[in-house]
Each structure stands twice: as structure tokens, then as C-alpha cells.
Amino acid sequence: MAEQKIVGAAVPRAEGSEKVSGKTVYAADVKLRGLLWAKILRSPHPHARIRAVDIARAEKVPGVRAVVTGAEVKGFLIGKQIRDMPVLCWDKVRFVGDRVAAVAAETAEAAEEATHAIEVDYEILPAVFDPLAAMAPGAPALHDDVAGYDGAPKNILAPDLRNGLTRLAWKKGDVEAGFRGADLVLEHTFTIPARHQGYLEPHAATLSIAPDGKIQIWASVKNPFGVRSQLAKCLSIAEERIRMNPVNVGGEFGGKGDGVDLPVLYFLAQKSGRPVKLVMSYAEELSASNPAHPTVITIKTGVSRDGRILARKMRAAHACGGYGALKSNSSLATWHYAGGQYRIAHTAIEFLQIYTNTVPGGYYRSPGAVATAFAVDCHTDILARELGMDPAEFRLKNFLGEGEADAVGHELHHVRFREVLQSALDAAGWRKPKKRNRGRGIALSGRHISGGDTGAVLSVEPDGSFAILSPSIDQGSGTHTILRQLVADQMQVPIEQVRTTIGDTDSAPRDSGMRASRMTYVAGKAIVQACVQLKEKLLEQAARRLECRVEEIDFAGGNFILRDDPGQQLSLRRLAAQANEKLAVTVYEDYPYPEDISYICAQVAEVEVDPDTGAVRVHRMVSAHDVGTIINPVTHQGQIDGATIMGLGQGVMEELVMDGGRVTNNNLGDYKLPSIKDIPELKTVLVKSAGGVGPLDSKPIGEFANNGPPAAIANAIADAVGVRLFELPVKAENIYRALKQK
């Protein structure tokens, strides 16, 4: 057989043909006998006490089979870590969209009609929407005893703050002494709104309860095992009673990691004796799901006249929303981005989660990164220009080096900041002359990646093909294609001889979900480990058939060959067909978090500003990445391009507009996402180096290019027309107003 190049080849996506042909099954497609449709009654008030709920009229709507209120499920709370969110509210509601009651009916229309027939008597309470206002003395308190909630992270709670949930804080050196020794100290405040993840498939789930009590679930979630744990803890039952069945996920970008609607379906199914399905409308998605947090960041930095950063103080206040339930650490992993890529001897950094009467915040691709990168890189540009330095030179002067500790004390290795930024500058023509009203801006994004548990079952089928049983949900990133390529490479067979099946929570090894750019690292390592173990098992089988020792056999081209007598061969297909046992191995590992490794994306935006209207046109985005072995160049580039466009959207158009806690642009007509006409020229530069933690020296790529574009665009606008914006998105009317004031 001619040698094949599998790793590095543009192998088509494993699930692609079924998606484009319409065969793919999503959560909303699940059909069960006797299925009922669910609808949730949501609060119209941001903060109110529930005096009474009358369901008499709702129960009379034709087709209604069950109505459940908060009073019936009092005491049941759910959350990823802190369980502070009621399944249905029984005493108070804390945001517009909070769950008050639920209906199951024969049709979605009947369920909708019944929710409108439920009468709720509310006592309106004072509300607070801004995280800074929520911390003020006298602000209305949303929760009486945060520490009393099950799962409350006692080590990072912030009970000293009014409406405080959690505090992440780091100190290094003596920040006040650093400021006293500085020649220039500047302080700025940046504001970032709530943003939706923008996946096309809304949250959807179907739940049934078997006569033996087994709970069967089909849900659009990226982490079936984690969601199973959430539901089990909420209901105080064993996880083994719950089976999460795999369905495809139509995009998620961090937003589909919770199971907050599943207890509602459980109680409806229990009361009706029928399976129940819930599919959120997009109005519900935009107003009551789990968007990125509105954030206010204040950053203060002291520098020397020769351009060295000496000290930094930063405080980020995230508007947590009514509950902290939708974050697995009750916080955001902002330590990845807190100090940027810069050498700073003295730091005091604090990130707060503050309860507000707004939609609860969740995870968005690189949680917290866009807000932090926007503040850090815009502030960095201001510092450079105040010192009369080129923004690129200022960054290059202050970059961390190999083995140095970042602003929160993490010692970094395999540092490639300088090389990657220089590559982006060269590709963007940083020093080339610009036309009038055109500007260029820089932004950087670096992060560590996650580890955690995962596994795989790898087997040889009787026809000699390989089957992967994976516990991971491929939410669109191409993970299962990567796994197929790794097996084909390791076992030396054509890619067509490898297939992947997603296992359910009863049959597959546990996996902690698609998160934090970890999947090629952890799932890739698991499948390579499985290949090694399976190859050992196959060699033992072949040695018995060829009547020799394992050490005397070579495996190549799908054949086991006796090294000293190549005429003596045994094909993999024949070995598999004649085996009297299942030729399979199961791998399950808890892979360490590689916290000492930092990867980097450097981006340069080129924009044009119309001085008469403030309108911005982004002409080009250059993204340079530190990369290792690229297993699939198509999926790799897809991650870069898709992430860049997401960042562009957050920079110039995306915003959940709130009025009195209510999301006012609660449809995709009013919530603007980038379309094909908004996409500028995208240029990618790959800076290859060793030091990858993934299989075959690969490096992560998923959550890098989405973080920097808002800052790069804002910096480019300042370069083009000399006005600085401190809030996202960078709207034309704000630029116009700033130009007039200038």
C-alpha cells in the first residue's frame, strides 16, 4: 500500500455528509410515543415576591396534561457548582425571564395558551441592574445567605460585598510602591455589555421516565456527564438513574453546559406520566438563557519614561445576574488573561461576580476573555501613545520571557509572544503608510488550556475496520474527525476504515465536556493511548497465530509480518474475523491541567472610519498563532476564521440591550450577528514551534482568535481618527459623538 499522509491532511468532517443531507438528529427532532410539549411561564418583573399562583384556568385548556408551580417543587435548586437557582420560583423572582411555572400539553400551542392563562400575584421589589450599583450600601439584596447554598465555593465567596458572589484576587510585589516609583500613572474604565453566544440551535431537550424509574434524556448539551451530575444533585438521586442519550449539538460556543430546564421536564413527566419535550424560542434564548456577563473593568498602570510597565491595579465587576448557577466555578477563569502577556513586578488584580437583577450570566467562548482583552489592550495602546512610543514597540519591550511569572504569578514556558506579534506586524504591513481616516490596531490573546477526565473505547471490527466509542459531543469543532485521523495514523490504515460513534452515559467512559480548548489534548491523548494498548493486544493475537514472539512481528499496511520471513503474513481483517474474543480496549484518564504553558494569538485590524457619520468598515484582520503539528488544516483554519468573525461581531455590533433588566432586542432581527457582507479580508500567519501538549506535538486553537478583535478594532479607530472608545460595541453614533467633541 502506498504511504498515506493522514495527519496534516484535509480530511472531510466525519459528520458532514449527514448534516448537509438532513439526516442529523438534533434534540428538537427526537420523537417518542405519547410525547407532550412543555412551556415555561417566566417572570415579567426583574425582582418581585410571589404572593399567589392560580393555575385553575390553565388546567382547563384543552390538551393540557400537567401544570407545575414553584410551590410544588419548593426547595429544589440546580447549578453547575453553587445551587442557587430554583427549578421553579416559589418565593421570589430575580430577573425578567425567571421560571415561575411550567405546562405540559399535547401541542406546543396548547402549552403556550395555558401559560398565558396562569395568574400570578406579584409584589414588586426594588431592583438593581449595574454591578457597581449592586455593591453600593442600601442596594436591594438578592440573596439572604449565599454561603448557605449547597455547593457554594466557600474559599472564594465575597460576603463582605453587597450582593457579592465570588472574588478571585491576586497580589504580587507592592503595587502602591510600584505606583510611587512610576513616571506616569494612568487609569481608565471600560464597559462591556451582555452578549449571546449566537448558536443557531436553541436549547432543547426531551425527557422520559421509564416504569422502573430510569430517566432517559436527549438534550442539546456539550457535557452529558456534567449535566447528568447537575440533575442528580438537584433531585437527590443516583446518577446511574439518569441516561443521557447522544444527539447532535447545533453550535454552543460555551452556552450549552447546563441542565437548568431538565428538572422542569422531570416534574412535568412525573406528574403527567408522559415524556415531555421543551424547545426554547429565540426570544427566550436571548432574554433568559446564559449570555456573557455585562462587565465594568477599571485598570490603573504605572510606567517609567523609557516604557517599562512597573505596576498595575485592575478590578473587574461582572454582573452575575440573578443566580451564579450557570458557572462551573461560580466565577470566570479570568486568571488566564488578567495581566496580559506583560512583565509587571507589582500587581493587585481582582475579579468579582456580583448578583444583579438581570439574566444570569454563563460561559461564552473563552469566558471573560473579550472583556479583559478589550480593557488590557486598549489601555496598553493609551499608555504607549502617552509615552510617545509605537504601540508595537511598547508591547515588544514589555513582553514576558521564558520562565518568567505573569501578573498572577504563573511561571510561563514555551513563550512565543515576540515571534508571533512580529509575524502579525509583518503580515499586516504595520509600518506601511495609510490612507486618510484609515488606522491599524493591535490586540493579543493568550491563555492556558484545560485538562480533566475523558476516555475512549477502541475496537477492531470483524471486517478489519476500527470503531471509536467516544464520550465527547462534537459541537462543531471537528473533534471526532481528529480522532479518526489519529487512529488511522497510529494503526496505519486508510481513514475510511475508522468510524466514530458517540456513546451515552451508560456505555461510554466519563468525560467532563467540550471546554477550554482541551479536546484535542485530552481526547487525542486518550485515543493514542488506546491505539498503543490495542496494538499490543493485536500483536499478541498475531504472535499466537504466526507461532512466534511478539518482538519478531512488524505491523504495517494492515498486515502482521514476520520480520525474518516476510512471506509469513497475517492480515488485520483475517485476525479480526477469526478472533474468539472482542478485540477492544477502554481508556479512561484524568489529564493534568498544563497551567505552565501559554499560547498566543496576535491580531492586527485595519479599519476605515467615515468622519461624517462615524461608520466603521473593517478592511482586514490579520491573525498570527503559535502552532505545533496541525492534524487537520481545514478544521484548524475553520477555528481561526470562525473565532475571528465572532470577535468582530462582539467588537462592532453584538449587544444585548437591557432596559430595566429586560432584554429589548430579543430576536435575531434586532440582535445583529455578522453576516457574509460584514466579513473583511482574513489573513492567517502560522508560527510553528515545538512544545505542544497535545498528541504529536499539537497545540490548541479554539479560543484564541475570538478575544482580541474588539480591542484591535478600537485601537485601529483611535489610530485612524484619534478618538478613543471605552465601551463595546464600537457604535457609529459613539464615534460620531466623540469626533464632534474632539
High-pLDDT (> 90) share of the chain, %: 87
- Residue 522 has phi, psi (to 5 degrees) of -80, -50
Q: What is the per-residue pLDDT across 398-432, written as a single tens digit (0 to 9) for each?
A: 999 999 999 998 888 889 999 999 999 999 999 99
What is the C-alpha to C-alpha distance for residues 256 and 362, in angstroms, rounded to an integer? Answer: 9
Q: Which of 542, 537, 534 is nearest to 578 (CA)?
A: 542
As given in the structure block, the three cell numbers for residue 476 are 462543531
Q: What is the pLDDT of residue 340?
A: 79
Give the chain's domains with CATH numbers.
16-23+451-591 (3.30.365.10), 31-126+200-251+256-288 (3.90.1170.50), 295-449+594-741 (3.30.365.10)
Q: What is the per-residue pLDDT across 254-312, written as a single tens digit (0 to 9) for each?
A: 999 999 999 999 999 999 999 999 999 999 999 999 999 999 999 999 999 999 999 99
What is the C-alpha to C-alpha distance for residues 713 and 726, in angstroms, rounded to an integer? Answer: 12
Q: What is the per-residue pLDDT across 466-486, written as a single tens digit (0 to 9) for each?
A: 999 999 988 888 899 999 999
Residue 202 CB coordination number (10 Å):
20
Average pLDDT over residues 121-148: 97
Q: What is the per-residue pLDDT across 98-127, written as a single tens digit (0 to 9) for each?
A: 999 999 999 999 999 999 999 999 999 999
Question: Torsion-angle region of residue 513: left (phi > 0), alpha (psi -120 to 50) or beta?
Answer: left
Q: What separation in angstroms does the CA of 41 have from each of 52, 94, 147, 316, 561?
A: 14, 14, 29, 34, 67
Q: How confident is the model at residue 522 (pLDDT cuts 50, 70, 90)?
A: very high
Q: What is the pLDDT of residue 339?
A: 75
Q: What is the per-residue pLDDT across 221-242, written as a single tens digit (0 to 9) for each?
A: 999 999 999 999 999 999 999 9
Average pLDDT over residues 83-87: 98
pLDDT of 2 over the 80 cut: no
Three-state SS at 501: strand
As given in the structure block, the three cell numbers for residue 639 are 477555528
High-pLDDT (> 70) share of the chain, %: 99
pLDDT of 552 over the 70 cut: yes
Sign of the torsion angle spanned by Cα atoms 354, 359, 360, 362: negative
What is the C-alpha to C-alpha distance for residues 722 and 433, in angstroms, rounded to an integer? Answer: 16
Of the residues 284, 703, 727, 733, only one is catalytic, namely 703
What is the C-alpha to C-alpha distance for residues 397 and 341, in angstroms, rounded to an integer? Answer: 11
As given in the structure block, the three cell numbers for residue 489 are 495514523
Three-state SS at 380: helix
Q: Which of 318, 325, 405, 440 is nearest to 369 (CA)?
A: 318
Give the 3-state DSSP-derived string for 641-683, with helices as H, strands as E and coil as C: HHHHHHHHHHHHCCCCCEECCEECCCCCCCCCCCCHHHCCEEE
Strands 309-321 and 346-355: parallel
Q: How confident is the model at residue 684 (pLDDT cuts 50, 70, 90)?
A: very high
pLDDT of 581 over the 60 cut: yes
As given in the structure block, the three cell numbers for residue 252 are 454552543
CB within 8 A of 12, min separation 6: which ones? 481, 634
What is the C-alpha to C-alpha distance for residues 577 and 572, in angstroms, rounded to an integer? Answer: 9
Helices then strands, each counted (H, E), the chain: 17, 30
Q: What is the pLDDT of residue 337?
A: 78
Q: Calculate the average pLDDT of the chain.
A: 95
Q: What is the per-residue pLDDT across 701-712, written as a single tens digit (0 to 9) for each?
A: 999 999 999 999
What is the C-alpha to C-alpha distance for residues 663 and 658, in angstroms, rounded to an integer? Answer: 4
Give the 3-state DSSP-derived string for 433-494, with helices as H, strands as E and coil as C: CCCCCEEEEEEEEEECCCCEEEEEEEEECCCCCEEEEECCCCCCCCHHHHHHHHHHHHHCCC
Average pLDDT over residues 685-708: 93
Average pLDDT over residues 158-185: 97
How would you class 210 by CB atoms within 10 Å of its CB: exposed for 0-12, middle for 13-18, buried for 19 or more? exposed
* DSSP-H helix ranges across 259-390: 262-272, 282-288, 369-386
pLDDT of 3 over the 70 cut: no
Cis peptide before 729 (omega within 30 of 0): yes
**Cα dihedral 578→3→640→598 (10° resolution):** 80
What is the C-alpha to C-alpha distance for residues 346 and 260, in angstroms, rounded to an integer? Answer: 42
Q: Which of 589, 588, 581 is nearest to 457 (CA)?
A: 588
Q: What is the per-residue pLDDT across 45-61, written as a single tens digit (0 to 9) for each?
A: 999 999 999 999 999 99
Q: In which order are the strands placed within the sheet that holds 584-591?
A: 498-502, 466-470, 452-460, 584-591
pLDDT of 449 over the 90 cut: no
What is the C-alpha to C-alpha distance for residues 96 and 283, in angstroms, rounded to an integer? Answer: 12
What is the C-alpha to C-alpha distance for residues 436 and 42, in angstroms, rounded to an integer? Answer: 51
**Cα dihedral 643→644→650→651 (10° resolution):** 160
The predicted model scores a pTM of 0.96
Residue 509 is given by DSSP the state P
Look at the block and give the residue holding cell 395558551: 113
Q: How confident is the model at residue 4 (pLDDT cuts 50, 70, 90)?
A: low
What is the C-alpha to C-alpha distance for residues 469 and 455, in angstroms, rounded to an integer? Answer: 9
Q: What is the per-residue pLDDT across 311-341, written as a single tens digit (0 to 9) for each?
A: 999 999 999 999 999 998 889 877 777 877 9
Average pLDDT over residues 69-89: 98
- Based on the residue annotation, tell me whether 703 is a catalytic residue of this protein: yes
What is the C-alpha to C-alpha distance for residues 251 and 473, in angstroms, rounded to an integer? Answer: 11
* DSSP-H helix ranges across 273-416: 282-288, 369-386, 391-398
